[in-house]
Amino acid sequence: MKQLTRWLLGVGVVLGARLPDVAQTQPGEQAQVYTVTNDGAGGNFHLPQVRLANTAVARRINRQLLGLVTDYSSAIDSTASPRRQLTQLARECCYDEESRSWLAAGSGLTGMTYEVLLNQNYLLSFQFQREDQGLAQPGTSHLTFDLRTGRLLTLAELVADAPAQLERRLGYAISRRLHDELANVVANYGDDSTMIAHVAQLYGISEWNTTPQAALRLDMGNGSGGDPYESRLHLTEFALRPNALLLFYSVGMSRLNFEFLPDETYVFPYTRLQPRPLLQPIAQASASKKK
């Protein structure tokens, strides 16, 4: 009897204890993302589509996602299912009607793949990589949606930092990275001045000194002049991760030079930005995880 009493008291303590708070996901706060692919042996199209409680918003997002590839063709039946549209696109790029066979590489846009970078707090951010003539291209493209409305968001709607300031910070980061990359080339090809000069030209560096202190001076100057990369920057290409804003800068070069291709992604933690209300919940969640 005493054992039964102690057991009942123990159960009462457990039931009466306050359970830890668990964050609840609100309807529509996250999208259900699924992949649509093309039929047939040609093409490599893997496009995201979303499901949301608000079907009108989901349709708006899905049309924009499909448009990434279907807008390249006027022969696509926009009333067909997404899979059917991708199959039509694959046949157009990669099927030879005369020989009635699929081409090994295809022509023009032959594929698209994607990655979900962020899907929380009513924000959905994608990264896409396209294939041309069967070959993956080095640069990526990005779309970020408001899951409440289905609108594509601009950077100015997410951060309050002045565009000129962000461009300057990105320009300095690009300059530092390219000088570091050139220093690696010098380390690997130190006896080949022609190769070093060639890579410097690819990076748009007309003069260089590969010591860290000199590279820093080249990056920062005396603070009065503009950054050499600033005029080439466009802040329309961005994406979101749970802990940072991503900005991008691709160095154009032929496939023969891809061994010298630097990473195009530049990471700006939310703690070093001024998030607007749309982005503040994600920035606050990221800061809480670091504590």
Measured CA to CA, the distance from residue 219 to residue 230 in angstroms comes to: 12
Q: Token pair for residue 32?
A: 């259900």
174 and 149 in one domain? no
In a domain, 9, yes or no: no
168 and 139 in one domain? no
* CB proximity list for 251: less than 8 A, separation 6 or greater: 178, 202, 203, 204, 261, 262, 264
Measured CA to CA, the distance from residue 107 to residue 76 in angstroms comes to: 16
Q: What percent of the chain has pLDDT over 90?
A: 61
Question: What pLDDT score was predicted for residue 16?
Answer: 43
| Structural domain boundaries enclosing 49 | 32-153
- Dihedral angle at the C-alpha atoms of 280, 282, 286, 291, nearest 10 degrees? 60
Measured CA to CA, the distance from residue 244 to residue 233 in angstroms comes to: 19
Q: How many domains does the chain have?
A: 2
pLDDT at 228 over 60: no
In a domain, 3, yes or no: no
In a domain, 26, yes or no: no
In a domain, 5, yes or no: no
145 and 248 in one domain? no
In a domain, 59, yes or no: yes
In our burial notation (b when 16+ CB lie closer than 10 A, e otherwise), range 243-264 reads bbbbbbbebebeeeeeebbbeb
pTM, two decimal places? 0.83
Question: What pLDDT score was predicted for residue 227?
Answer: 52
Question: What pLDDT score was predicted for residue 4?
Answer: 45
Question: What pLDDT score was predicted for residue 63?
Answer: 96
Neighbours of 229 (CB within 10 A): 20
DSSP H helix total and E strand total for the chain? 7, 11
* CB proximity list for 149: less than 8 A, separation 6 or greater: 57, 60
Last residue of a domain, one of 114, 135, 153: 153
Last residue of a domain, one of 153, 179, 202: 153
Question: What pLDDT score was predicted for residue 41?
Answer: 81
218 and 123 in one domain? no
Q: Of 105-114, 160-169, 199-208, give the lowest mean pLDDT range.
A: 199-208
236 and 167 in one domain? yes
Q: Does 134 or 247 have the greater pLDDT score?
A: 247
In a domain, 13, yes or no: no
208 and 143 in one domain? no
Element (DSSP H or E) covering residue 244: strand 244-248
In a domain, 17, yes or no: no
Q: What CATH number does the domain containing 126 carry?
A: 3.30.565.40
168 and 130 in one domain? no
223 and 111 in one domain? no
Last residue of a domain, one of 104, 120, 153: 153
206 and 99 in one domain? no
pLDDT at 236 over 70: yes
In a domain, 240, yes or no: yes
